[in-house]
Structure 1
């Protein structure tokens, strides 16, 4: 048994090292060597998740990771992604939106599970949602088309993009808008339509109370933070509304399969927390 586990971990290691540069694209543009401890943690997280996923027949799942300490804002997970089972059934591809080099743009990436967790995370806690079968089929069809994957993507990036504006987008905004296109009975042709649908469905993004110093500091010194898409009545009262992975997971739980065997933390039963 131990030899089989070690073999699988070795395979994950080889696959991850092959594309480590891509994994770092969401952090910065400097050449950074991934340490042995971080590498091991990424493989262990990927192995735990793949072992769990391989026990079922699901085709598409939604996963979230802890990339930042956001506890002071009451937020657990910073970044969410789709994981799609490969055509041969032996592996998984992760699709997510990453900020480029700390600048004002983003790009969609397709990575392996190990790469997804090799991104300087706070810890290796994972949240997992398994959409209902009909929704998995719609998402799978969507991800088989590059045009569909890109439909809701907007390259102008802000980490605190207002969820109901099309001026900027953050990573979780791309995911929840793409999810909306798959889940809606309507034909959502663009981001504005997706956002209107999300509002009708009472999607609830997070509201952060940020002091003026935090807002001005972020705007002046970080190219990937902008507040000028937020309504004045909220912005000038230090109330910044933003898509977080917590919001995404709570929303997608509505059409996800219950997982009573898991830990759930503060999330619905359809969200499995893996520590």
Structure 2
């Protein structure tokens, strides 16, 4: 039990649904009651309103899927939201892990399903980034390029994949490499992942670092499927500091590279939905500040 609990501390990109990517969660299901489902669907409705209000065709999107507070992280899972999709006005293109087939895929999911992927229906966070026109157009083209999307997909999934290795990959690393291919001309002949990572290095992309709580946690991780340490530099393992792509890494890189990017963050608890526009984070508590939009969802 101690090994399992410690290993869970290494899990990123997690949620309670199968596409979240963790075998420890694959057999777990939780049915939402009517009140919980209504709350999350209303939250998703506000997210869709913000996407529509942008008048854009693409956005970077991140969700708080599992509790990563021990790492001082709110968000765990990133993807690319595309407006024009066959099944809905907006859908999230993302890497997910298919439990039954034990392999990663690229998957399009509606906004409601994306919001329902959070572990705790009593609270939720989603962040949106609307890029300047040129960057936005390049990202949309890359995200819609099926050959490129698949060329950037690793054959093996690791929740804590080393950001500058090609043996494994997590959901956020796929997004980072897609951005590199879109903005750095990293697509084309050759190893798409190596070229994308070279561009990220050259442009000072900083993955993580994710601070692991203890050496025991690091040791325990190697005994849990989909958590690996064999791809990380030895010095990082000794320092308990892993270079892993997380949504915060992507957000910091985008803010530095394209400061005109518009950011909108939406959160909810059991009483209200809060919308904040700008780069100041709402925080895990979802407490509104002056200037935030507040929408009541409970008396």
Fold match, TM over 0.5?
yes
For residue 259 of structure 1, report the CA deviation from its aligned partner.
Answer: 5.0
Give the 3-state SS of the residue equivalent to 1:226 in structure 2.
coil
Q: Does 1:155 align with 2:170?
A: no
In structure 2, do the counterparts of structure 1 residues 87 and 244 end up closer, same or farther at CA, with 3 Å as the change threshold? Answer: closer
Q: 1:88 Cα shift?
A: 8.2
The equivalent of 1:202 in structure 2 is 204
Query: Counterpart of 1:99 in 2: which secondary structure?
Result: strand
- Number of the residue aligned with 1:257: 261
Q: Deviations over 1:102-149 (max 9, x none)?
A: 996322111100011111334321111011111222222223332122
Deviates more, 1:201-210 or 1:184-193: 184-193
Alignment length (residue pairs): 248
CA distance in 1: counterparts of 2:293 and 2:194, whole angstroms: 34
Contact 1:103 1:224 in 2 (8 A): no
What's the CA shift for 1:51?
Answer: 0.7
Out of 31, 54, 76, the residue aligned to residue 34 of structure 1 is 31
In the alignment, the residues of structure 1 paired with residue 28 and residue 233 of structure 2 have an alpha-carbon distance, to the nearest angstrom, of 38
Matches within 5 A, 1:53-72: 53-72=51-70
Structure 2 gaps, min length 5: 1-16, 265-275, 283-291, 295-299
Q: Which runs of 5+ in 1 are unaligned?
A: 1-22, 268-272
Deviation at 1:166, TM superposition (A): 0.6
After TM superposition, list the pairs within 5 Å mapping 1:1-275 onto structure 2.
Answer: 24-26=18-20, 28-30=25-27, 32=29, 34-36=31-33, 37-86=35-84, 91-101=89-99, 105-122=103-120, 123-187=123-187, 189=190, 190-210=192-212, 211-220=214-223, 222-253=224-255, 254-255=257-258, 257-258=261-262, 262-266=277-281
Deviation at 1:252, TM superposition (A): 2.0
Change in Cα spacing, 1:218 to 1:104, as seen in structure 2 (3 Å) is farther
**Which whole-Å deviations, capped at 9, do the CAs of 1:34-77 have from their partners, x for residues lacking one?**
31344223312210111111123211000111112222222221
Question: Cα 1:132–1:212, aligned 2, differ >3 Å: closer, same or farther?
Answer: same
d(CA) in 1 for partners of 2:293 and 2:168? Answer: 32
Moved more, 157-166 or 209-218: 209-218
Q: Is the 8 A contact 1:38 1:120 kept in 2?
A: no
Inter-partner Cα distance in structure 1 for 2:102 and 2:218: 16
Post-superposition Cα deviations, 1:1-20, rounded to whole Å, max 9, x if no partner, equal: xxxxxxxxxxxxxxxxxxxx
Q: Give 3-state SS (helix, strand or coil) of 1:117's partner.
A: helix
